[in-house]
Amino acid sequence: MTSGEQPYIRIVQDRLVYANRYGELYDDDVEFRPGGVRGRYVRWQWRSMYSVAVLALADPATALLVRSFRHSARREVVEAVKGFGDDARSPVEVARHELREELGFTAAGMTFLGEAIADPGFADHPVHCFLATGKVDGLPHPEDSEAIRGVMRFPIEQTPAALASGSVHDAITLLLLWQAYELERKVTGSARDAPVPDAGGSH
């Protein structure tokens, strides 16, 4: 063991176990450094280089969330609009397209918030995050592979309660909602009287 070596995980052998048109699943042979212990570690690699997530704001106090049945969760979840990026378009172009496709929403303004990774322990996949202002002026036309059940009008002021209660589970959606929540509090000057609800447990 090298003196002062920082902990990391070395891939001894890439072990591809499954692939489809969306990505590849690996069950790698690894070595945990600096201890030298061998093991296996699962990772997923999306074929798309990035994704987008965009929170549509019907007005500063109201977000539009998509109600979708998610296969892995085996239930309906509410999320911001999301989509895979591609080499032909910029992230903002992809975000605008996804808004039209999933909500029938035309964006008048787009604010880039930064990049986030939902689960770097499983898939190191950047998500370009946006807030969008605009209006619904058309009909949604989601892809056949999406099980979208409708749209929810979500009051931004309910963001802390949604996190505390678990009514919104998606981490990227919560991140976007919280950004919109903080912006709205600055505008309304209500930061001093907006306590975070008790989650009902000790830490």
What is the per-residue pLDDT across 1-53, written as a single tens digit (0 to 9) for each?
455 889 999 999 999 999 999 999 999 999 999 999 999 999 999 999 999 99
Task: Tell me if residue 103 falls in helix, strand or coil.
Answer: helix
Q: 51-190 — its CATH code?
A: 3.90.79.10
**pTM of the predicted model as reported, rounded to 2 decimal places:** 0.87
* Residue 135 CB coordination number (10 Å): 14
At residue 3, the pLDDT reads 58
What are the residue boundaries of the structural domains of the chain, listed by start?
A: 8-46, 51-190
Using only C-alpha atoms, the chain has a radius of gyration, in whole angstroms, of 20
Q: What is the pLDDT of residues 136-162, one digit of tens each?
A: 998 888 777 678 888 999 999 999 999
* Residue 163 CB coordination number (10 Å): 18
